[in-house]
Structure 1
Amino acid sequence: MCCIFRSTLPDGRKGKGFSQRDRPGPHAADVNKGGTLYRTSCHQSNGEGVPGAFPALGGDPVVTDEDPIRLTEVILFGMEGETIEGVEYSVIMPPFAEQLSDEEVAAIVSHKRTSWGNDVSIVSVEEVEKVRNKGN
């Protein structure tokens, strides 16, 4: 399995993100846990990816979008055959909805959004739960 494992929206809506300090308490994503859950074999420990196979995560438009929903959908439901900044990626990103809890997905999404030079809001467990319940 690739990337993670346990050991602008399609309709044009824009969401509001929150910073870690805006979300103190038990529902805040644990960014450190996200770093532990994130596996480096696909996108690499430096987030630079593998050209033509796995996109770089640093500066990636999906990762750094103001609204974290698409990144959350990719982690939960997988993705394949996407073109990102003119490069086609044919390798399948498998879905992890069955392997990861909402808390774990929130931690991974938040880790990706705050690593490798990325500096955008983290996500809450509740936001992940909404995306999971809506489905792909």
Structure 2
Amino acid sequence: MSEPEIHTQQQRENPEPEEGTNPMPWFVILLTAVLFTFGVVYIVRTTMSNAPTWGDSRAVADLQGPAPAAAGSAVDGAAVFTARCAACHQASGQGLPGVFPPLAGSEWVAGEARTFTAIVLHGVRNSMTVSGKTYNGAMPAFKDQLQDAEIAAVLTHVRGAWGNQAGAVSADSVAQVRKDTEGQVEPYDGDAGLAALK
């Protein structure tokens, strides 16, 4: 059997790479061990009762938002919106494309107050259409989180902000919608569920 012929092109090729036999450098092993040990100690020593100054300086009260308004007192709808709604719908009322719908210029905001109230009370899941665009974010129900006066205040704020020119909503009307829709135990199922409200 004759030797295979080695062509010039093959002679120019580099040899196949091989895994080296050098061990991992000792300082990399040491650094990994130190970081791992630090992580374990940090997690073990951290508790929910640590002082807020150790983290981002926010206390539990800061994260819970404003306290519920006392019965009969005036409620600041803008403050309720900032605490409960702005994270999704944004301070500008423009929402987030494809996820959370805008409140500015929304037909749901400017439409029947009872419908908008029911949406805020019971929430919405699955896709819904606003101004011809589809949004897939879920809206939580606020019926157990906010009192009638707070819901009325935030609805009134939204219906009069960002160019919206709809009328105010009273706490009595919120209470009536709450009573009329008390059988709604789950969020409305997107456009299909909201169609019954129109």
1:5-40, CA deviations, whole angstroms, 9 ceiling, x for partnerless residues?
Answer: 852xxxxxxxxxxxxxxxxxx69x75xx11000131
Q: Identify which of structures 1 and 2 has the higher relative contact order when contacts are C-alpha pairs closer than 8 Å and 6+ apart.
A: 1
Structure that is richer in helix per residue:
2
Q: Is residue 50 from structure 1 mapped to residue 93 from structure 2 by the alignment?
A: no
Tell me which of 116, 123, 128 is aligned to 1:82.
Answer: 128
The sequence identity of aligned pairs, in percent, is: 35
Q: SS at the partner of 2:93?
A: coil
Name the Cα RMSD after superposition. Answer: 1.8
- Per the TM alignment, residue 83 of structure 1 is displaced from its structure 2 partner at its CA by 1.6
- Per the TM alignment, residue 59 of structure 1 is displaced from its structure 2 partner at its CA by 0.8
Residue pairs, 1:20-99, within 5 angstroms: 30=75, 33-39=76-82, 40-65=86-111, 67-80=112-125, 81-99=127-145
CA distance in 1, matches of 2:163, 2:134: 23
CA distance in 1, matches of 2:114, 2:161: 18
Larger radius of gyration: 2
Tell me which of 120, 125, 130 is aligned to 2:166.
Answer: 120
Q: TM-score, normalised by structure 2?
A: 0.52
Contact preservation (8 Å) 1:6, 1:99: no
Q: TM-score, normalised by structure 1?
A: 0.74
CA distance in 2, matches of 1:53, 1:132: 26
What amino acid is aligned across from residue 36 of structure 1 in structure 2? A
Give unpaired runs (5+ residues) of structure 1.
8-25
Contact preservation (8 Å) 1:62, 1:70: yes
What amino acid is aligned across from residue 135 of structure 2 in structure 1? Y
- Hey, which bits of structure 1, 4+ residues long, moved more than 4 A? none
Equivalent in the alignment of 2:18: none
CA distance in 1, matches of 2:167, 2:65: 23
CA distance in 2, matches of 1:104, 1:73: 14
What amino acid is aligned across from residue 118 of structure 2 in structure 1? E
Give unpaired runs (5+ residues) of structure 2.
1-63, 67-71, 185-198
1:31-80, CA deviations, whole angstroms, 9 ceiling, x for partnerless residues?
Answer: xx110001311111111111111111111001011x21111011100012
CA distance 1:123–1:64, change in 2 (3 Å): same
Q: SS at the partner of 1:83?
A: strand
CA distance in 1, matches of 2:153, 2:140: 18
